[in-house]
Amino acid sequence: MHDLQKYEESADSADRAADARRAGRTGVPVFVKVLAAVACLGFLLMGVLGSPDRPLSGSSEVIGEREMVRISGPAGRSVEVLALIDTGASASSVDTSLAKELGFDLDAAPRITVGSALGRERRPVVDSTVRLAGRSFVAKLSVNNRSKRETPVLLGRQEVQGLQVAVGKRLLTQPDSTAAPSALRILFAKAPAIDPVSMMALLPLAALLIVVLRVVVGLNTLGTFSPVLLALAYAQAGLPLGVPLTLVMFALGFALQPLLRRLHLPRVARLGVLIGVVTSGLIGAQLALGSFGLSDSWGMSLPVVVTAIVTERLWEAWDLDGVRAAATGAALTMGTAVLVALLLLTPYVREVAEAVPLQLALVCAVWTSIVGTYRGLRLSELFRFAPAAKAQGAKA
C-alpha cells in the first residue's frame, strides 16, 4: 500500500534539499525578506487604521445580530444563551423549555395573541431580567417552541433601543461587558462567530500558520491542510459538538476500512464509500440531536470530504506504522485544528479580518512565501538529533 503521507514528506524533503543546493545563486537576500515583511505590516496597519468599519472596537453602542445574553428567572436562576437580535420583530420571545428551566410558571402567566408567518396563536408572557452588552433590563418575553431555531431567545427592537446592530456580525460583546468574548469562550459557546467574507480572509492566515508549523516546527499531520478545514468546522460548530463528531466520523470510517480493503476497491471508490458513510453519520447525528432540541444547522460545517481523506490516511498510518503512529497523527491533526480555530476566533484577528479582509489575505500570501524560503533545521529535528550531537561532543 502506497503511503501518501510518507510520499509527501519525502517529496518535501527532496524539495528542501534541492532548494538548499541552489540557495547560493537563487536564494532571496535576507534584507529583501525583512523589507517585504515590514512593508506588509505597514500596509496592513494603514488599512486597519483607515478602515471606517470597526465592529469589535468595544463601543457600548454596537452589538451583533447574534449575541450571548444572560437571562434570569423569578427565583434568581440565570443562564447564558445565544440570542437573535431582530430589529424587525416588535416583540421578544423565549423557548418553552428554557422558560421552564428558569422556573417560570407558564400555566399562571398572562397570555397574549401573537401573529407570525404560521398564523395567530395565544402565548404565555413572562417578565425576565436580561443582561446584554453590559446593560440590564426587564424584557417581556412571549413563550413558544424555538427548539428548531438557531437561538432559544429572540430580542426585538423594544429591547435593543439605543443600540446599533452591526449587520452580519456576531458575538461582538459579552453579557457583562462590551469587550468581545475570548476565542476559547466562543469555541465552547457552540455559536458561529465569523461571517463568510471574514472567513475567506482568514483562510490565508490559517494556511500561513500551517506552513510555519510544517516548515519551521516540523509538525506532520494527516493531510497538509486538513487541519485548516477542520478548524473552520470547529469555529462554526464549537468544540463540544465538533470534536466528538469528528471522533465519531473517524471511528465509523475506520471500522469500515477492513471491508473496503477486502473488496479491493480503487482509492477513488474507497473515498466515495467513506464520504457516503461520513455523510450518513452526520445526518443520523443531526436527526438524533435535533430530537433533543439542539440546532440542526451545524452539521453542514463539518468538511465531509476532508474527514473521509483523513480517515483513510489514519488507517494507512495504522497499517504501516502501528497504532502509536496513527494515534499520534490523529492527535496532532485535531490539536492543530483546535490551535488554528483559536487563532481565527481571537478578537483582534477577527477585527482585522472584518475591517480589511482583502489586505489581510494579500499580506498573509506574502508572509507565506517568505516563510517558505526557510531552509534550516526544523525544531523537531533539533530535538531528534540532540542525543547524536551530545554523543559526538562527548567523543570529541
Q: Rounded CA gap, 144 and 98, in Å?
A: 10
- Classified as helix, coil or strand, 89 is coil
What value does the mean pLDDT of the chain take? 78
Confidence (pLDDT) at 110: 87
pLDDT tens per residue across span 226-285: 888 888 888 877 788 788 888 888 888 778 877 877 888 887 888 888 888 878 877 777
Cβ–Cβ < 8 Å for 293, 308: no
pLDDT, tens digit (0-9, with 9 covering 90-100), for 92-138: 899 999 999 999 888 888 888 776 666 677 888 999 999 998 888 89
126 is written with which cell numbers?
413572562
What is the average pLDDT across 316-326? 81
Helix axes 304-321, 239-262, angle to 10 degrees: 60
Q: Tens of pLDDT along 66-101?
A: 889 999 988 888 899 889 998 888 888 999 999 999
Give the tens place of pLDDT for each residue, 100-111. Answer: 999 988 888 888
H helix or E strand, kind and range, residue 69 = strand 62-72
Fill in the amino acid letter for 158. Answer: Q
Beta bridge partners of 124: 111
Using DSSP's 3-state secondary structure scheme, residue 276 falls into: helix
C-alpha to C-alpha distance for 346 and 209, rounded to whole angstroms: 14
Residue, of 198 and 45, whose pLDDT is higher: 198
Query: Could you give the residue range(s) of every CATH 2.40.70.10 domain in the chain?
Result: 62-179
CA nearest to 305, candidates 257, 349, 258, 270: 270
Element holding 94 (H helix, E strand): strand 92-95
Quick one: what percent of the chain has pLDDT higher than 70?
A: 77
DSSP 76: S
Q: Provide the pLDDT for residue 130.
A: 92
Long-range contacts of 210-213 (CB under 8 A, 24+ apart): 210/336, 210/340, 211/368, 211/371, 211/372, 212/371, 213/336
Give the alpha-carbon dihedral of 298, 303, 309, 313, to 10 degrees.
Answer: -60
What architecture (CATH level 2) is domain 62-179? Beta Barrel (2.40)
What's the maximum distance between 2 C-alpha atoms anywhere in the chain? 90
Who wins on pLDDT, 52 or 334? Answer: 334
Q: Cell 444563551 sits at which residue? A: 81
Q: What is the pTM of this model?
A: 0.72
Please give the helix or strand (H or E) that residue 154 lies within, else none.
Answer: strand 153-155
Tell me what percent of the residues of the chain surpass a pLDDT of 90. Answer: 4
pLDDT band with cut points at 50, 70 and 90 for residue 155 = very high
